[in-house]
Amino acid sequence: MRATVALGNAARTPLIRFLGRRSVPQSVDHTPRPHPASPSGILPDSFAAYRSKAQQHGPLGRASFTQGAIGRNSGASLGPVQPKQGEFFDRVELPSRFHRLPWSEAEIEAIETGGASLCA
């Protein structure tokens, strides 16, 4: 006898019980409405109009991809990338007072023991 066949033939009893009969509403209003938390409270004219103004990690409109050179040229051809005056790309470029401090032996021991060495 195969166990999968026996399990497939068994009647399944749901663990959740609903009160009353299932009732389907007679009419449901599916007309689009603005979200209650919408800042403007109005719907966009069309999805294309919304997408042309929307931003998600950059502009979503197709015009931003066709007009620009992003993705068509190599990164080197876009020019050098230099930080502005007063901006730094990495912490090691800052003055030494902003560098990361080295770990002490006590801190390493506390991390390796999960903090138990601090209580003993």
68 found inside a domain:
no
Q: How far apart are CA 80 and CA 91, in angstroms?
A: 20
74 found inside a domain:
no
Q: How far apart are CA 76 and CA 81, in angstroms?
A: 9
The answer, yes or no, to whether residue 76 has pLDDT greater than 80, is no
Summarize pLDDT for 82-97 with one digit per residue, the tens: 888 888 888 888 999 9
Percent of the chain at pLDDT above 90?
A: 8
The answer, yes or no, to whether residue 3 has pLDDT greater than 70, is no
Count of structural domains within the chain: 1
Asked if residues 58 and 64 have their Cβ atoms less than 8 Å apart, the reply is yes
Mean pLDDT of 63-68: 52
Q: 101 is in which domain, residue-wise? A: 90-119
102 found inside a domain:
yes
71 found inside a domain:
no
109 found inside a domain:
yes
Provide the 3-class DSSP secondary structure of residue 31.
coil
Distances (CA, A) of 9 to 14, 15, 34, 85, 93: 15, 18, 49, 75, 70
